[in-house]
Chain A
Amino acid sequence: MKQNVILRRLLPALLSLGLALALWYGLSLTVAYTEGRQVSLTGRVIDRHGEPVRGAKVSLVLNGHPFGAGAANEPAPPLAESQRDGTFVVDLPAEEVGAIEALVLEISRPHFKSLQWEAGDDEIARLNRGESLRLPDMELSRRMTVGFWVATLTFVAILVLIALEKLHNTMAALLGVAIILGTTFVGGAVSPDLFIFDFERALEYVDFNVIFLVMGMMIVIGVIEETGIFQWLAYQSYRLSGGRAWLLVTILMLITSVASALLDNVTTMLLMTPMTIQIALAMGITPLSLLIPEVLASNVGGISTLIGTPTNILIGSYAGLSFNDFLTKLTPGVLLAQVALTVYVLIRYRKQFLVRGGELSEALLNRLRESGRITRPAKLRKAGLIFGVMLLLFILGERVHLVPAVTAILGAVAMLLWVTPDIESMLKVVDWTTLMFFISLFIVVGSIQEVGLISIITGVIGRLVGSNLTMAILVLVWSAAILSGVIANIPFTAAMLPVVGSLTRTIPGASNQVLFYGLSIGSAMGGNSSLIGASANLVTAGIAERAGYRITYVEFFKIGMPAMIITVAIGTLWLFIRF
Chain B
Amino acid sequence: MYRRILVPLDGSKTAEKVLPLVKVEGESHQATIVLMRVIPPLRSSLMMPPKFLEQIAQQASEIARDYLEGVAAQLRAEGLSVEIEIQSGPPAQCILDFAENTQCDLIIIGARGETGAIRWRFGSVANKVIRARTTMPVLVVST
Contacts and interface: CB of A to CB of B under 8 A. Distances in A.
Decide if A and B are genuine partners.
Answer: yes
Interface of A: 165, 168-170, 214, 218, 222, 225, 264, 266-267, 270-271, 273-274, 277, 310, 425, 427-431, 433-434, 437, 490, 531, 535, 538-539, 541-543, 545-548, 550-553, 555
A548 B47 CA distance: 23
A535 B45 contact: yes
Where chain A touches its partner, the secondary structure class is: helix
Nearest to A168: B44
A57 B29 CA distance: 84
A431 B115 contact: no
Contacts of A490: 46
Given A264-B47, A434-B47, A531-B117, A270 B40 contact: no
A214 B46 CA distance: 11
B94 to A, nearest CB: 14
Contacts, number: 111
Most B Cβ at <10 Å: residue of A271, A273, A535, A547: A547
Given A169-B46, A266-B48, A431-B49, A550 B121 contact: no
B45 A548 contact: no
Interface string B23-41: 0000000000000000110
Given A270-B56, A429-B49, A431-B49, A550 B114 contact: yes
B50 interface: yes
Given A542-B45, A552-B115, 17 more contacts: A170-B46, A225-B52, A274-B55, A425-B51, A431-B46, A431-B47, A431-B48, A490-B46, A539-B42, A546-B60, A546-B63, A548-B63, A548-B64, A550-B117, A551-B116, A553-B116, A555-B116
B143 interface: no
B52 A541 contact: no
Contact of A218 (B49, B114, B117): B49
Nearest to A363: B66
Contact of B116 (A267, A310, A545): A545
A531 B118 CA distance: 12
Contacts of A547: 11, 59-60, 63
A412 B115 CA distance: 41
Nearest to B59: A274
A547 B59 CA distance: 8
Most A Cβ at <10 Å: residue of B39, B40, B52, B59: B52
Contacts of B44: 165, 168-169
B131 interface: no
B124 to A, nearest CB: 14
A551 B11 CA distance: 14
Interface in B52-86: 52, 54-56, 59-60, 63-64, 67
Contacts of B45: 169, 266, 535, 538-539, 542
Interface in B86-118: 114-118
Contacts of A531: 117
B133 interface: no
Contacts of B117: 531, 538, 541-542, 545, 550-553
A270 B48 contact: yes
Top 5 nearest A-B pairs by Cβ distance?
A548-B11, A552-B116, A266-B47, A428-B51, A550-B116
Contacts of A427: 50
Given A222-B51, A550-B115, A543 B56 contact: yes
A165 B115 CA distance: 17
Nearest to A265: B47
Nearest to B121: A165
Nearest to A534: B45
B43 A165 contact: yes
Contacts of B63: 277, 546-548
Nearest to B58: A274
Most A Cβ at <10 Å: residue of B42, B46, B49, B118: B46
